[in-house]
Structures are given as structure tokens and as C-alpha cells.
Structure 1
Amino acid sequence: MSENKGKVKILLAEDDKLSITYITTVLTSEGFDVIHAANGDDAVRIVREMPDLSLVLMDIKMPDKSGIEATLEIRKFNKSIPVIAQTAFALAGDREKLLEAGCTDYISKPISRKDLVALINKYL
């Protein structure tokens, strides 16, 4: 584990309690700091208020504002932060839609620990 991972802050935008617990456990065990947003509005606000965030894990299906809407809004003021979409609904054409909306990449649910860590490390 790299020494600077403790300084790496990841925003987890997710409303499902089981997913929050699982992903937070995986990320903290890898040495990352995890900040949580329960909906798209919170995610946008947190990205705006925390310039030291390193990456966003964005659930696509959330209350108030979807992950796609939140990503589009984030891209208006932050074009560089990696945004990885997480979705249980990965259908043909979804990847293109997510990338068009400004997502850097995506991961399908159920999320494997190995795939999640590899994807995050790819963008840090």
C-alpha cells in the first residue's frame, strides 16, 4: 500500500445502505479516506466544497438528482476529477451514455473488490 493513500479522499455518492457499507469497508481497508453523499445534490455540493477530493464513485440511480445529472453539474465547474459511475443496469449503450455525461469510467454492480481497487488505482 502506498504511503500517500491516506491522503486520498474518495467521495462515495450512494443511497443503498448495503452498498455504502461494502464499498466503504473495501476503500478504508485499502487506506483511502471515504466521504459519503446520500444523493446527487449532496455529491455536487461536496465536490464544490472539497477541492482536495481525488475521485468520485457515483451511483447512477439516486434520489433527488440522478448520478448522471450530478455528474453533468459537477463537470460545469470541475472537468478534471475522475468520476466513476456505478450501476446495476449496465446495458448495451450505457457505457457511451455515461461517458457522454462526463463520467470517466464505470463499474457494474455487484462490484468486485479487485475490480474496484484496480479501477480506482488506474485514475489516481
Structure 2
Amino acid sequence: MTPKQQSHLFQSFSQGDASVTRNYGGTGLGLAISQRLAVMLNGNISVSSKPGEGSTFSCTINLPVRENVKITSPNLEVVPIKAITTSREYQLQCRVLIVDDQRDVRHLTHLLLQRAGIETEFVEDRIQAVELIENQLQNGLTVDLILLDMQMPRMDGYQAAARLREIGFRRAIMALTSDAMQGDMNRCLELGCDDYLSKPIDSSELLEMISRYISQGRDL
């Protein structure tokens, strides 16, 4: 990192590289909170970095000297991770468009839906989504449901939902949002979404919702 990037690292809602937010998510609070905790413990977090070589973060804490203090070693118990299973097995014959700018989210959602027999398509942003659906509508064959992330660059999900309805998409649009405020949910519905799910997504809830809307069916 450059000296300029380093100077912003410990500021709230700031990141050394803005592209990190788009590729990996995050708000720029992690280091700010960590630094505050270190200061509360009479310590500090510092960074040493050279562009193209790497970065070293150091945390120092000044602990008070205590005599006759027994040092304990915790017993670590390794608990095996249980396989994540859905409460119900789904086998759905439909096509779903995944609209999300984060590659990992698209990949994981694709794997989840694929296991349920769902055919998937995916695009990185809303403009691509609108263009794809517009072309599909012209050919008379479109996806059965759209999973639409609401926080993305270029055209946000709210604009995209409204635009998709304007061009004639009449099937289900499901909003995926990390803003779990009631006002945001109402806005999703007002602008054309049929339903919404808060992130992180519950796989059982997602499949149940897709199953419900696919079974209801909607005409083009």
C-alpha cells in the first residue's frame, strides 16, 4: 500500500482500495474497530507496507504487571462441522437469473440452486440483467425468476426492478438485500419486486420461496 492508502486505513468507512468493497464486500470498519479496542487496552495497531511487496500489521498491548498470577492454558475441543442440509429436499424444474456483482455469491448461489435441479444464468450488474431480459422477451422465452441483489454499482437494484417491469418482465423478482430495515423492504415491493430475503441468505428459505413462486406461475 502507498503511504496515502495507509493513512486512511484506520478511519471509519474507509478502505485502502475501493475495489475491495466491490469484490469482497465490507464497510471499512474492521481496522477502525480493532484500533479502538487496542487503544482501550493501552495499546496500538500499526502497519508497515510497500506496494507490490506486502503488508505487516502489528498489535501491541501494554498489560499491567501482576505477580503470582496463574497462567492457564485453555482446553481446545475440536467440534466437527455438521454438513448443512435443508429441511426439505427440492427438485425444481425452472430457470433462475442471479444478478450479483460478487463472484463468490454468484457461484455459491448457483451451486445451491443446481442441487435443487434449477438451471441458472448469472450477470454481474443490473444493466446486463435488463439487457439480457430484454433480449429474452423479444425471443419469447425468458427466465422463470430473478434473484436481484439490491446493492450494486452502475444501476442499483431498485432502479433495475422498476426497469424490468417497464420492459414487460412479469415473472417473479426476488430482492436480496443486506438492508433489513422495513422501509427498504417496502421500497423493494413498491418498485416491482415480489418478495425479498435478507443476507446472509438462508438456503431453506430461499428454496422454499422459489418453489412457492414457481408453483404459482406467472405469464409473460
Q: Which has the higher contact order (CA 8 A, sep 6+)?
A: 1
1:40 maps to which residue? 126
SS of residue in 1 equivalent to 2:163:
helix
Aligned equivalents of 1:79, 1:73: Cα separation in 2: 9
Higher percent of residues as helix: 1
Aligned equivalents of 2:197, 2:111: Cα separation in 1: 17
Amino acid at match of 2:123: A
Offset at residue 79 of structure 1 (A): 4.6
Question: Aligned ranges for residues 43-82 of structure 1 at < 5 Å?
Answer: 43-50=129-136, 51-82=141-172
Unaligned runs of 5+ in 1: none
2:100 maps to which residue? 14
Q: TM-score, normalised by structure 2?
A: 0.53
CA contact (8 A) 2:100 2:124 kept: yes
Offset at residue 63 of structure 1 (A): 1.6
Residues 86-95 or 111-120, more deviating: 86-95
Offset at residue 92 of structure 1 (A): 2.2
Aligned equivalents of 1:41, 1:52: Cα separation in 2: 16
SS of residue in 1 equivalent to 2:132:
helix
Amino acid at match of 1:83: I
**Is the radius of gyration larger for structure 1 or structure 2?**
2
Aligned equivalents of 1:111, 1:46: Cα separation in 2: 25
Unaligned runs of 5+ in 2: 1-89, 215-220
- Seen in structure 2, the aligned counterparts of structure 1 residues 52 and 79 have a Cα distance that, compared at 3 Å, is closer
The alignment status of 1:98 with 2:188, answered yes or no, reads yes
The alignment status of 1:83 with 2:173, answered yes or no, reads yes
Aligned equivalents of 2:169, 2:132: Cα separation in 1: 15
CA contact (8 A) 2:133 2:169 kept: no
**Which portions of structure 1, spanning 4 or more consecutive aligned residues, are displaced by more than 3 angstroms?**
none
Number of matched residues? 121
Q: TM-score, normalised by structure 1?
A: 0.91
Q: Tell me the C-alpha RMSD between the 2 structures.
A: 1.3
